[in-house]
Structure 1
C-alpha cells in the first residue's frame, strides 16, 4: 500500500521563488521521488529516474483524456493546439512526428551552420559600446531569424513572429489572466493566417525551405503544417532564448569557456522549462508512487536535473561531469523535435559570443522574469 505524498506549499509567482526555485526543489528532493504541490493541486515528480520512466510509459501522455469544452475566447488558440504534436498521443502523434521529421532533416539543420555563424557575427558587430541588454540584442535575434529562414519567410517579419510567440506562450505561465488569454488567441489567429498565406504561395511555387518540404509530405494536412510551424517558433524560440541567457550567466559566473560540455552542463544546471504536465491514462504504481487514471501530474524537469541520486553535488556547475542525459529536452516519444537545431544555435551562438567578446561582463545582477513554468531572464545587461 502506497503512502500519501508529502504536501508542500509554494506560490510560483513569489519573487524569491522566481529568482531562485532551486531551494524549493531541494526541499522536495529531501521528501522523496514526488510530492503534492498545494498551490497547483497537483502531484509533482522530482526524481530523475521516475521522470524519465514517465516520459516513456504508455500510462502517461499529453492529450487530455476528458477534454472540456473550450471557452469561446480561445477558439483560435485551440484550433492551433488541437493539431500540435506537443498535445497529441498515438495514433496521431507518431504519424505526424514521422512526417515532420522527414522534412525537418538533420542535413537541413546542419546546413544552417554557416548562416548562424554569419548572423552571430553580424549581431555582435552591431553591439553598442555602452551597457545593453544581451537578450534583445543577441539571444532573441538568433533563434527567431533562424527559424524564419528555416520556414522560408522573410527576415524582416521576425519582430512580428517574436511578438506572436510571446503572446501565445503566456498560456503556459502560472496564473495567466483573461487578458493574457485574449492576447494569445489573437496572436494564434494572426500567426495562423500568416503561415497559411505562405503555404498557399509555396503550393504554387515551392522553394528550398521547411514549409515547402512539409507541403511535399502529402500526408500532412494544412492545419497540421500551420500548427507545426507555430510550434517550432514558440517552443524553439522561447526555450533557446532562455537557455542562452541562463548559460551566459553560468559561464561568466564560473569563468568557463563556451565548450560543448559546458553548454550541456548549463542546460542541466539551469534549463528553460521547469514544469511539464502529463495526464494519467490508467492506474499505475511506479517506484512506490501511485498515479490514478484521469489525474494530471507535473514533471519538474529542473528538479530532476538536480537530483542528488543522479548527479554528485548537483547544485555545482561542473562541465567536467561524466556525460549523462539531462531532461532539458524531455525524453521518450515527445523528446524535443528541435533539439538538434537548439544545440546548433546555442553552440555557435555562445562560442562566437565569447570568442568575439572575451571581456564580456555582467553590469547588473541578472533578473529572472515571472514566467514560471519557464525559467528565463527578464533582462541581461552586459558590457563588452
Structure 2
C-alpha cells in the first residue's frame, strides 16, 4: 500500500470529532488501523494488540534524541524554562536516566501506601458534597472532580493547598504544549508558567528541607541528599510531573465517568455496591472514555509496522482511546460493561512508562465516585455535556448536574 492510500485527513478541532472521536476510530479499525494522520504529520496506530505491543517495545521511546528538550533547537529560545523542566522529567527520559529517576521516585512513592489515603479521599468527597447548593444545579467539574485529586496530590507532596489556583493555572498552561498546532502565544504562556512553577517549587523545597515533614516531598529531598540522588533540576521536574499528572487526567476521567454512568440510566449505586464492583466500574470507565487518547514514541531504529517502515527519529502516535474500543480486542466495545471478561484497557499505558500514579488515580476514582453516588443517587445531567477542544486530552468543558 502507498502513503496516498493510508493518508487520512481529520482536523482534531473539528466539532464533530471533538465531541465523538470514536466514529473516526471505528473507521480506522475497519479500513486502516495503521495510518498517516495528515494534520499531525505522523503515523498512527489504532489496533489494540499493536498499541499494547509498541508501548512495551524498547526499540521505541519517549526521549527525543534529535531535538528538544534534551538538545538545542534553533528558534526555541522562548521555551528555555519549559524545556528545562521537561528535560529532567522521567516521562521524557529513557534508560539509564529513566531507570535511575523512576527508581528514586518510586522508592519514595511506594514507601507511603496509597491505600492509607482512602479515608481522606472519602472525607474530602463528603465535605465537597456537603458544600453543594441544595436542590440547585451545579457544575461537577470545579465543585467535585477537580478539588479531590488536586487536594490529595498537594497534601501527599506537602505543597500548600491554598496555592491550588496557581497550580491549576500553571498546569493548564503547560499541558497546552501537547495540543496540536499550538500558537507562539501558547508556547510563551507555557514557558512563563514553567518559570513561575519552578520558582515556586525552588523556594518551597528550600523551606521544606528544614521542617522534617512526613510527606512525599520530604522523602524525595531525603533521597536526593543521601547516596543516589535527584539533582535540583530533577527534583523540580519530578514535583511538576507529579502535581500535573496527579490531578489533570483524574479530573477528566471523573467527569467522563460520571457522564457515562448517568447515561446508563437507573440507580447508579448498582455500579458501586461492593468494593469489587467499584473497581470494575472504574476500569470500564477508563476503557470506555479515557482521559488521554494519544501517546507518542520515537523510533530508535528502522522498524516495520506492516504497511510502513519507520526510520530512526520518526514518531509514531499510539491511539489509546482507539485501542480501548478495538472490536478485535473487546466484545461490544461501544457498550459500557463493568466486569467484562476482556478488561485490559491501556489508559495508563504499558511497559517502561506505565503511569506511576495509576494506583492513586484508581483509588481516587473508586472512592470519590462511590461516595458521590451513595450521597446523590438521583443525580441527573441538566444540559448536554460538551468535550473541550483539546485533543489528545479528552475531557468535558463542564458537567451541569442537579
The TM-score with structure 1 as length reference comes to 0.96
- The equivalent of 2:162 in structure 1 is 156
Shift of the 323–198 alpha-carbon distance from structure 1 to 2, 3 Å rule, reads: farther
1:140, 1:241 within 8 Å by CA — same for their partners in 2?
yes
2:288, 2:324 within 8 Å by CA — same for their partners in 1?
yes
Gaps of 5+ in 1: none
- The equivalent of 1:176 in structure 2 is 182
SS in 2 for 1:361: coil
1:163-182 superposed Cα distances (whole Å, 9 cap, x missing partner): 11111111111222211111
The TM-score with structure 2 as length reference comes to 0.92
2-structure distance, mates of 1:77, 1:353: 37
Given the alignment of the two structures, is residue 315 of structure 1 paired with residue 334 of structure 2, yes or no? yes
Match for 1:94 among 99, 103, 106?
Answer: 99
Residue 290 of structure 1 deviates from its aligned partner by 2.6
1:273-308 superposed Cα distances (whole Å, 9 cap, x missing partner): 011111001012245653222111100000000111
1:190-248 superposed Cα distances (whole Å, 9 cap, x missing partner): 11111111211122222101110011113111211111111112122110000000000
- The equivalent of 2:60 in structure 1 is 60
- The equivalent of 1:296 in structure 2 is 315
2:34, 2:307 within 8 Å by CA — same for their partners in 1?
no
Match for 1:135 among 128, 141, 152?
Answer: 141
Match for 1:266 among 279, 285, 299?
Answer: 285
CA RMSD of aligned residues (A): 1.4
Given the alignment of the two structures, is residue 366 of structure 1 paired with residue 381 of structure 2, yes or no? no
- The equivalent of 1:43 in structure 2 is 43
**Dislocated runs of 4+, deviation >6 Å:** none
2-structure distance, mates of 1:264, 1:275: 18
Given the alignment of the two structures, is residue 11 of structure 1 paired with residue 21 of structure 2, yes or no? no
- The equivalent of 1:353 in structure 2 is 372
1:354, 1:360 within 8 Å by CA — same for their partners in 2?
yes
Deviates more, 1:293-302 or 1:103-112: 103-112
1-structure distance, mates of 2:372, 2:159: 26
Residue 315 of structure 1 deviates from its aligned partner by 1.0
Q: When the two structures are aligned, how many residues end up with a matched partner?
A: 382
1:235-274, aligned counterparts within 5 Å? 235-255=245-265, 256=268, 257-258=271-272, 259-274=278-293
Match for 1:228 among 238, 241, 246?
Answer: 238
SS in 2 for 1:312: coil
2:284, 2:343 within 8 Å by CA — same for their partners in 1?
no
Shift of the 144–106 alpha-carbon distance from structure 1 to 2, 3 Å rule, reads: same
Gaps of 5+ in 2: 273-277
Residue 3 of structure 1 deviates from its aligned partner by 5.8
SS in 1 for 2:31: coil
